[in-house]
Amino acid sequence: MKTLKIFVTLLVLTTGIAKAQFTKAELQVSGLTCALCAKATEKSLKTLPFVSEIKTDLMRNVFIIVFKNNTPVNFDQVSKCVHDAGFFINSLKATFNFDNVKLADNHFSYGGDTYQVMNGAEKSLNGETAVTIVDKGFAPKSVSKKYIGQIADVPSAAGRVYHVTI
């Protein structure tokens, strides 16, 4: 009985602590002309170690990517897979769980990378929130150009710096 109480207590404690992470992403790809093109891109994306599952919407050229729990996501690898398949990213909107994450000086860190929020003053964020990567290669040139003038160095940035909007 004592062992059961300890097990239940540990289970409650570990499931009650929400770890900050990306949970899913909506990836719109341009240049897809047929189902075989979409299948090649999907196959390439499935090779990534942090991808759990992919759902394809051929009408909108969108891939819904579900990420594995507790596995850091690398968006540069996502971009490389799409480009290696011969296509381009039109937009990448990822859902980030902001539980237990503080947004300071309009940036937050995750998986060794820094995410600079480009569209707003300090915000208090909780729960799952969509962030759109606006860097070159992740958004159309017109969108990237709009934010390029706002880019400032992030103090003590770790790893790669992604520029995002919320």
Question: What pLDDT, on the 0 to 100 scale, is given for residue 17?
Answer: 37
* DSSP code of residue 136: B
- Structural domains in the chain, CATH included, are 21-102+124-154 (3.30.70.100)
> Token digits for 79?
């971009």
Between the alpha carbon of residue 17 and those of residues 1, 20, 99, 103, 144, the distances in Å are: 25, 10, 9, 19, 36
CB 68 within 8 A of CB 45: no
Report how far residue 41's alpha carbon sits from residue 35's, in angstroms, rounded to the nearest whole number: 10
- pLDDT averaged over 10-residue windows placed end to end, the chain, 166 residues: 38 40 95 89 95 93 95 95 93 92 82 85 77 92 81 68 90
pLDDT of res. 89: 95
Quote the pLDDT of residue 84: 92
**Helix (H), strand (E) at residue 12:** helix 2-16
CA atoms of 100 and 131, how far apart (whole Å): 17
CB neighbour class for 96 (10 Å; exposed up to 12, middle 13-18, buried from 19): buried
Q: How many CA atoms lie within 13 A of 94 on its CB side?
A: 22
The string of DSSP codes covering 62-125 is EEEEEEPTT----HHHHHHHHHHTT-EEEEEEEEEE-TT---BTTEEEETTEEEEE-S-S----
Q: Name the residue with tokens 């947004």.
A: 103
Q: Which long-range contacts (CB under 8 A, 24 or more apart) does 102-109 make?
A: 105/154, 105/155, 107/154, 107/157, 109/158
